[in-house]
Amino acid sequence: MDKFRMIFQFLQSNQESFMNGICGIMALASAQMYSAFDFNCPCLPHYNLAYGLGILLVPPFILFLLGFVLNNNVSMLAEEWRRPQGQRGKDRAVLRYMFCSMAQRAMIAPVVWVSVTLLDGKCITCAFCTSVPVETLGNASHPSLSQGEMKRVLARIPCKEIYDGQELIANEVAIRYLRCISQALGWCFVLLMTTLAFLVRSLRPCFTQAAFLKSRYWSHYIDIERKLFDETCAEHARSFAKVCIQQFFEGMSTDLAAVRCHPPRKAPADAGEATEKLLGITDQGTMNMALKSWHRCKPPLHLHQPALRSGNGWAVEGQSPTLPPVPRRETVAYYSRV
């Protein structure tokens, strides 16, 4: 049990690395899922487009939502967004920073799925096989067919075993044409996502360094504050339960002593320490009121500390900087003699 607790504490302390690992695992899982997926194009004019685009777009959307579900900061973001104003204002820049950080991690698996799908070419071949330019790639001397018959024949291009339009256009020619377009789109998509990731991760802090540092600092603060609050509540609940159980057994001991005429046992030495950890909150109603107060009106971010002058010479606005102490006469005289 202690080993699992140590692992859990390690994952909590290294949450960013843990989430990056989860995103990497999801990306590999998405590629493995596509390779194991049995792609079966319906080869029907009215269903090919829906099936091909559905396989291309629906799984990435599910993986994107799954990336948010596996992120522990989603509930923290929702809580910070929905909490009352109280004595602490809300900074929309911090909320946007938190959301963008989660969205960047959640998009890794969908991007891998779309890239692998486009590079493979099956979805595009199934979805757009009825749009193959027969006049350019096919047999122009073939007897003309109606529009419905033409689409019915072209819709069977992904299905080699039932394709019967070799005289109209060769199956291999159409598949190679569509797969070439799909792979070109896939590499363009990879290039676009790589460039976008480079711009977001590298160039954004350069243009908005002060705002970026402020948003990152307060997002870390919100995360750490929530963890410390949960730890404090867990410690208080442990002390509360310990004192409650001790009082129960003390009452039972007193009742048994009264019946059997035996002196009651003394309370354990750590009972007072557990009572001190309760911080005066010793009943359910007071605890519920404290939790409700924390949600409705969090304390302001002002610790009332005096401003100290730093080596750079800056001080808090509205407060005079602290001047260095004046040297004593004896010290001045000593150094003047030296």
- pTM confidence score: 0.68
* Cα distance between residue 336 and residue 338, in whole Å: 5
Look at residue 311 in the predicted model and tell me its pLDDT.
47
* Cα distance between residue 207 and residue 210, in whole Å: 9
Look at residue 15 in the predicted model and tell me its pLDDT.
56
Number of H helices and E strands in the chain, helices first, is 15, 0
Q: What is the mean pLDDT of residues 85-96?
A: 80
Lowest mean pLDDT, pick from 45-59, 98-112, 179-193, 205-219: 205-219
Contacts of 216 (CB under 8 A, 6+ apart): 97
SS3 168: coil
pLDDT above 70 coverage of the chain, percent: 73
Q: Is pLDDT at 336 greater than 50 in this prediction?
A: no
Look at residue 101 in the predicted model and tell me its pLDDT.
84
The pLDDT mean for the chain works out to 76
Q: What is the mean pLDDT of residues 170-179?
A: 91
Look at residue 20 in the predicted model and tell me its pLDDT.
61
Q: What is the mean pLDDT of residues 62-87?
A: 82
In terms of pLDDT, which residue wins out, 246 or 329? 246
Look at residue 187 in the predicted model and tell me its pLDDT.
95
Sequence spans of domains, the chain: 1-207, 210-260
Angle among Cα 26, 219, 93 to the nearest 5 degrees reads 105
Look at residue 29 in the predicted model and tell me its pLDDT.
75
Contacts of 128 (CB under 8 A, 6+ apart): 49, 52, 178
Segment 274-319, tens digit of pLDDT: 677 777 777 788 888 888 887 777 777 777 655 444 444 444 444 4
Q: Is pLDDT at 87 greater than 90 in this prediction?
A: no
Look at residue 56 in the predicted model and tell me its pLDDT.
92
Phi-psi sector, 268: left (phi>0), alpha (psi -120 to 50), beta: beta
